[in-house]
Chain A
Amino acid sequence: MKYFITRLLRSLLTLIIVVTVVFLLMRMMPVEGYFGASFDKLDEAQKVAKLENLGLLDPWYIQLKDFYVDLLNGDLGESITYRPKVAITKILGDKLLISLRFGFASLCLSLVVGLSLGILMARFKGKLWDKLGTWYVVGANAVPAVIYYLLIQVFFTDIFNLPLLFDKSDPKSWILPVFCLSLVNIAYYAMWIRRYMVDELNKDYVRLARAKGLKNKEIMLKHVMRNAFVPMAQYLPASILYTVSGSIYVESLFSIPGTGGLLVTAIQRQDNSLVQSLVLLYSSIGIIGLMLGDILMATFDPRIKLGSGGGSR
Chain B
Amino acid sequence: MTSKKIINKMADNIDPSLFEFAEYDETKGELSGYSNYSFWRSTVQVFMKNKVALALLIVIAAVVAFTLIQPYLPNQKSPTQIYINPETGMQFRNVRPNGEFWFGTNSIGQDLWARIWSGTRTSLFIGFAVGLFEAIVGITIGALWGYVRKLDALITEIYNVWDNIPSTVVLIILTYIMKPSISTIIFAMCMTGWLQMARFVRNLIIIIRDREYNLASRCLGTPASRIITKNLLPYLVSVIMLRMALAIPAAIGNEVFLSYIGMGLPIDIPSLGNLINEGRSLMMDPNQRYQLFFPAVVISVVTISFYVIGNVFADSADPRNHV
Contact = CB atoms under 8 A, between A and B. Distances in A.
B257 A146 contact: yes
A142 B306 contact: yes
22 contacts: A11-B164, A22-B173, A138-B308, A139-B300, A142-B304, A142-B306, A143-B304, A144-B252, A147-B256, A147-B296, A150-B280, A150-B283, A153-B283, A248-B257, A264-B262, A282-B166, A283-B165, A283-B169, A286-B164, A286-B169, A287-B164, A313-B206
Contact of A147 (B164, B176, B289, B300): B300
Interface string A239-272: 0001001101100100000000001100110000
A46 B169 CA distance: 33
DSSP class of B's interface residues: helix, strand, loop or mixed? Answer: helix
A267 B263 contact: yes
B203 A263 contact: no
A249 B164 contact: no
A144 B161 contact: no
B253 A287 contact: no
B314 interface: no
B100 interface: no
A204 B296 CA distance: 47
A143 B300 contact: yes
A173 B318 CA distance: 47
A25 interface: yes
Given A141-B307, A153-B283, 8 more contacts: A18-B161, A26-B173, A144-B252, A154-B283, A264-B261, A264-B262, A286-B165, A312-B203
A17 interface: yes
A142 B283 contact: no
A175 interface: no
A263 B172 contact: yes
A299 interface: no
B256 A28 contact: no
A18 B164 contact: yes
A230 B280 CA distance: 41
A245 B304 CA distance: 25
Interface of A: 10-11, 13-14, 17-18, 22, 25-26, 28-29, 138-139, 141-147, 150-151, 153-154, 242, 245-246, 248-249, 252, 263-264, 267-268, 275, 279, 282-283, 285-287, 290, 308-310, 312-313
A296 B267 CA distance: 45
Contacts of A18: 161, 164-165
Interface string B243-273: 0000001001100110011110000000000
A29 B179 CA distance: 10
Interface in B186-232: 203, 206
B183 interface: no
A267 B262 contact: yes
A28 B263 CA distance: 17
B135 interface: no
Contacts of A283: 165-166, 169
Interface string B273-296: 000100010011000010010001
A144 B255 CA distance: 9
Given A25-B173, A142-B303, A282-B169, A310 B156 contact: yes
Contacts of B6: none
A290 B165 CA distance: 10
B161 A279 contact: no
A252 B261 CA distance: 9
Interface in B151-169: 152-153, 156, 160-161, 164-166, 168-169
Contacts of A142: 249, 303-304, 306-308
A275 B176 contact: yes
B102 to A, nearest CB: 21
Which of the listed residues B172, B283, B307 has the most CB atoms from chain A within 10 Å of its own CB? B172
A309 B152 contact: yes
B124 interface: no
A150 B303 contact: no
B307 to A, nearest CB: 4
Contacts of A154: 283-284, 289, 292
Contacts of A268: 261-262
A14 B161 contact: yes
Given A144-B256, A147-B300, A248 B276 contact: no
B144 interface: no
